[in-house]
């Protein structure tokens, strides 16, 4: 059982380039999330999806887009990367997104934008 996988593990990207971070879960969870984690700050929600076919904006959505074509996959796209998007990105999922639902996290993608 893999749980949640993310790819790539790490990436160095030139500013202005387009980049898609991949996330796949095999737990049949309805809800999925993208967070970024920066030193000294808490995890910040970028986008979320409560079920396949729907997405919503989190706290810091600017510069990012997501899609949820099916239950398992939730890719995050940076249309034109900027240095402030240098961060560790975590994908997570939960059963329904309701109260008490534990979120399961992927191993993260370390992204550096130069």
Partner 1 sequence: GQNIDQPTEMTATEGAIVQINCTYQTSGFNGLFWYQQHAGEAPTFLSYNVLDGLEEKGRFSSFLSRSKGYSYLLLKELQMKDSASYLCAALDSNYQLIWGAGTKLIIKP
DSSP states of 40-73 as a string?
TS--EEEEEESSTT--EE-SS-TTEEE--SSSSB
- Looking at residues 47 to 86 of the shown chain, list those that interact with partner 1 (rule: CB under 8 A): 48, 58-59
Provide, rounded to whole angstroms, the least separation between the CB of residue 108 and partner 1.
6
Q: Which of 20, 69, 107, 112 binds partner 1 (CB under 8 A)?
A: 107
Residues 9-38: x where in contact with partner 1 by CB under 8 A, - otherwise, as a string: ------------------------------
**Residue 100 contacts partner 1 per CB under 8 A:** yes
d(CA 56, CA 88): 21
Nearest to 75 by CA among 18, 28, 15: 18
């Amino acid at each position: 059982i893999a749980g949640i996988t993310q790819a790539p593990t790490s990436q160095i990207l030139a500013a202005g380039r387009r980049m898609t971070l991949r996330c796949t879960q095999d737990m049949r969870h309805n809800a999925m999330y993208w967070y970024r984690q920066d030193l000294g700050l808490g995890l910040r929600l970028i986008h979320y999806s409560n079920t396949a076919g729907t997405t919503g904006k989190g706290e810091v959505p600017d510069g990012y887009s997501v899609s949820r074509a099916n239950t398992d996959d939730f890719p995050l796209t940076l249309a034109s990367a900027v240095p402030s998007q240098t961060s560790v990105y975590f994908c997570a999922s939960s059963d329904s997104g309701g109260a008490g639902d534990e979120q399961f996290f992927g191993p993260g993608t370390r992204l550096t934008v130069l």
